[in-house]
């Protein structure tokens, strides 16, 4: 099996620590290992480092090399710039088709998700392999434990066996009432953004459902044939449609399988999500600093300064070298709005 790890994002919800020069996947926010290192670590007992590939933006290549020094340089697939997951995966599959037999299976993973139960995760890959061998596009659906409105959902259809279902449909992020209905139905799973398929299966799917992508891939392959894999294909790549693979491929395809899983998954998509998976003191505080606390509960603080909290609850306080974030924890998703405003105001030193 081949692993493809997508590591091109910026992680704007983790500002001010996550910056364009040091995105979320390269931060040590869960342990003394960065998130991309943790993602590779959990694969190594099943997949050799030589068969693990990282697809990332040109601006993040050096960071990738620093964090993964054992990864062969040719295993870094370089996007000239981010174009969403459908172009990213298509480019990577085309790259891998030059190195492997197209019947080889590939697992596609984000670089910045938490999976607590590694053995259960690896066992699910075995199940995925069996389905991918039958030319299915396989996705891994997280068994929901609350009515989340921040995730897309996958509705399971006909049961294949105790471990697999055909996919009935994909659903966009719901409102709270709809999410409650999904949870009560018991046939809906969170869309994890993890997939498995044979190289030839996904390339055929692009040909069937996103022919524009396949056309651009032909142009890129022609350039690779003439100039080598280091060729500049920015002009060609810019023609790709900016679309997620979920919408461009998975929602349209016919042979789709969902494997329900429950292995302590979290996309760690905000400071609140990080708080939720972190160890807390007796007052529900996560304090990554020296501190004195008086009547303060349920706060998250990350700074190298001494901090005193008095009579405050539910705060996120995060300090970087030139910025401080103070937010209500339940509004931490809105950090991306600050980043958007900084971009609009051209405050590049803060991005």
Specify the pLDDT at position 164. 95
Give bridge partners of residue 257 from the DSSP assignment: 138, 166
Per-residue pLDDT of 272-295, as tens digits, reads: 989 998 999 999 999 999 999 999
Specify the pLDDT at position 214. 96
Question: Does residue 199 contact residue 206 with C-beta atoms inside 8 Å?
Answer: no
**Alpha carbon distance 213, 243 (integer Å):** 10
Q: Which two tokens stand for residue 132?
A: 């991918």
Specify the pLDDT at position 82. 87
Q: What is the CATH number of domain 2-266?
A: 3.90.550.10
Specify the pLDDT at position 48. 96
Per-residue pLDDT of 222-280, as tens digits, reads: 999 999 999 999 999 999 999 999 999 999 999 999 999 999 999 888 899 899 989 99
3-state secondary structure of 255: coil
Specify the pLDDT at position 313. 97
Report the C-alpha dihedral over residues 104, 109, 111, 112, rounded to 10 degrees: -160
pTM comes to 0.92
Specify the pLDDT at position 118. 94
Query: What residue segments make up the domains of the chain, in order of their start?
Result: 2-266, 271-350
Question: Does residue 261 contact residue 115 with C-beta atoms inside 8 Å?
Answer: no
Three-state SS string across 107-120, please?
A: EEEECCCEECCHHH
Specify the pLDDT at position 332. 86
Low-confidence spans in the chain with pLDDT less than 50 = none
Question: Does residue 262 contact residue 142 with C-beta atoms inside 8 Å?
Answer: yes
Specify the pLDDT at position 247. 93
Cβ count within 10 A of residue 284: 14
Specify the pLDDT at position 20. 86
Find the length of the chain.
351
């Amino acid at each position: 099996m081949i692993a493809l790890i997508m590591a091109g994002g910026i992680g704007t919800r983790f500002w001010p620590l996550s910056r364009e020069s040091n995105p979320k996947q390269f931060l040590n926010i869960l342990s003394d290992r960065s998130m991309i290192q943790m993602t590779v670590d959990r694969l190594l007992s099943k997949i050799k480092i030589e068969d693990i590939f990282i697809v990332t933006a040109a601006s993040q290549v050096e960071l990738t090399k620093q964090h993964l020094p054992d990864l062969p340089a040719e295993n870094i697939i370089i996007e000239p710039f981010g174009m969403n997951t459908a172009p990213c995966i298509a480019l990577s599959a085309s790259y891998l088709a030059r190195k492997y037999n197209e019947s080889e299976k590939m697992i596609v993973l984000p670089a910045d998700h938490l999976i607590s139960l590694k053995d259960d995760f690896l066992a699910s890959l075995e199940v995925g392999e069996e389905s991918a061998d039958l030319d299915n596009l396989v996705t891994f659906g997280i068994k929901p434990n609350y009515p989340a409105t921040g995730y897309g959902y996958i509705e399971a259809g006909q049961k294949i066996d105790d471990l697999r279902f055909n996919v009935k449909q994909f659903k966009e992020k719901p409102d709270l009432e709809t999410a409650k209905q999904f949870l009560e139905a018991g046939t809906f799973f969170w869309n994890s953004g993890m997939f498995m398929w044979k190289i030839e299966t996904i390339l055929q799917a692009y040909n069937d459902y996103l022919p524009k992508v396949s056309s651009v891939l032909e142009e890129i392959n022609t350039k690779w044939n003439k100039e080598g894999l280091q060729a500049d294909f920015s002009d060609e790549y810019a023609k790709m449609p900016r679309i997620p693979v979920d919408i461009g491929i998975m929602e349209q395809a016919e042979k789709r399988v969902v494997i329900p899983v429950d292995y302590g998954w979290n996309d760690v998509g905000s400071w609140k999500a990080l708080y939720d998976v972190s160890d807390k003191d007796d007052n529900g505080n996560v304090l990554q600093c020296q501190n004195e606390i008086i009547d303060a509960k349920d706060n998250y603080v990350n700074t190298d300064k001494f901090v005193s909290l008095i009579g405050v609850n539910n705060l996120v306080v995060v300090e970087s070298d030139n910025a401080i974030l103070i937010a209500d924890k339940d509004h931490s998703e809105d950090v991306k709005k600050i980043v958007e405003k900084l971009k609009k105001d051209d405050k590049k030193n803060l991005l």
